[in-house]
Chain A
Amino acid sequence: MKIVENAECVIQSVKDNGGFGNRLVQMGVLPGSHLKIIRVGFKGSTVEVMIDQGQSIALRSKELEMLDCKLVAIPLSALSTGDDEKYRIKKFNGGQGFLKKMKDRKINISDIFEIIDDHPFELKTDKGIIAVGRGEAEKIIVEPAD
Chain B
Amino acid sequence: MNLLTEMADKNITIAICSIPNTGKSTLFNKLTGAHQAVGNWAGVSVEKKTGHFKLNGYNINLIDLPGAYSITPTSIEETVVRDYLLKTPPDYIINIIDARNMYRSLGLTLQLAQSGIPMVVAVNMMDEARRAGLEIDIKKLSNHLGCQVIPIVARTGEGVDYLKNALLGIITDPSRFRPPYISRPPIVEDAIVTLAKKIEKIHPDPALNKTFIAERLLESGDLPKDVPINKEALKEIVKEVKHLRSKTEQSLGQDLTITCAQCRFNSARGLVNEATSETLKVPDKFTNALDRVLLNKYAGLPMFFFIMFLLFQGIYALGTPLQALVGDFFSDIQSSLHNTSLLESLPDFVSNLLIDGVLNGLGIVISFFPLIAIFFIFMSLIEDSGYMARAAFLLDRLMHSLGLDGKAFINILLGYGCNVPAVMGTRILSSRHNRIVTMLLIPFTLCSARFQVFVFLAAILFAPSVAPWVVFGLYVLSFVMVFVVGFILKLFKFAGKPEPFIMEIPPYRVPTVNTVVLRAWMEMKSFIYRASTYIVGGVVLVWLLTNLPVDSQPGSIDTWAGQIGQFLQPIFHPIGIGWREVIALIFGFVAKEIVVGSMAVIYGTNTATQILASITPLQGISFMVFTLLYTPCIATIAAIKSESRSWKITGISLALGLIIAWVTAFVVYQGGLVLGFH
- Greatest chain A CB density within 10 A among B70, B261, B291, B394 is at B261
Structural contact, A27 and B393, CB atoms closer than 8 A: no
Contact with A along B252-283 (1 / 0, CB 8 A): 00110110011001001100100000011111
Contact with B along A48-62 (1 / 0, CB 8 A): 101111111111100
Structural contact, A45 and B397, CB atoms closer than 8 A: yes
Given A26-B70, A53-B101, residue A58 in contact with residue B501 (CB < 8 A): yes
Contact with B along A78-109 (1 / 0, CB 8 A): 00000000000000000000000000000000
Cα-based distance from A67 to B458 in the complex (angstroms)? 53
Structural contact, A30 and B262, CB atoms closer than 8 A: yes
Structural contact, B72 and A22, CB atoms closer than 8 A: yes
B215 at interface, CB cutoff 8 A? no
Q: Which residues of A contact B261 (CB under 8 A)?
A: 25-26, 28, 30
Given A16-B257, A45-B396, A46-B397, residue A55 in contact with residue B104 (CB < 8 A): yes
A14 at interface, CB cutoff 8 A? yes
Given A13-B254, A41-B394, A53-B279, residue A26 in contact with residue B298 (CB < 8 A): no
Identify A54's interface contact among B269, B282, B301, B400, CB under 8 A.
Answer: B282
Task: Report the minimal beta-carbon distance from B587 to chain A, rounded to whole angstroms.
Answer: 42
Structural contact, A58 and B500, CB atoms closer than 8 A: no
Structural contact, A42 and B298, CB atoms closer than 8 A: yes
Closest to B42 in A: A57
| Interface bin, chain A | 35 or more
Q: Which residues of B contact A58 (CB under 8 A)?
A: 389, 392-393, 396, 406, 501-505
Structural contact, A28 and B103, CB atoms closer than 8 A: yes
Structural contact, B300 and A28, CB atoms closer than 8 A: no
Structural contact, A56 and B396, CB atoms closer than 8 A: no
- Greatest chain B CB density within 10 A among A13, A43, A46, A51 is at A46
Cα-based distance from A115 to B678 in the complex (angstroms)? 69
A24 at interface, CB cutoff 8 A? yes
Interface residues of B in 53-83 (CB under 8 A from A): 69-70, 72, 74
Cα-based distance from A26 to B105 in the complex (angstroms)? 10
A19 at interface, CB cutoff 8 A? yes
A133 at interface, CB cutoff 8 A? no
Closest to A27 in B: B69
Q: Which residues of A contact B282 (CB under 8 A)?
A: 50, 54-56
Interface residues of A (CB under 8 A from B): 13-28, 30-31, 39-43, 45-46, 48, 50-60, 63
Which 5 residue pairs spanning A and B have beta carbons closest together? Answer: A20-B500, A53-B103, A54-B282, A26-B69, A26-B70
Instruction: Identify 17 residue pairs between A and B in the complex whose beta-carbon atoms are under 8 Å apart, listed by A's number.
Output: A14-B258, A18-B500, A19-B499, A22-B257, A23-B502, A25-B262, A27-B104, A39-B291, A39-B295, A42-B301, A46-B400, A50-B282, A53-B269, A53-B272, A54-B280, A58-B502, A58-B504
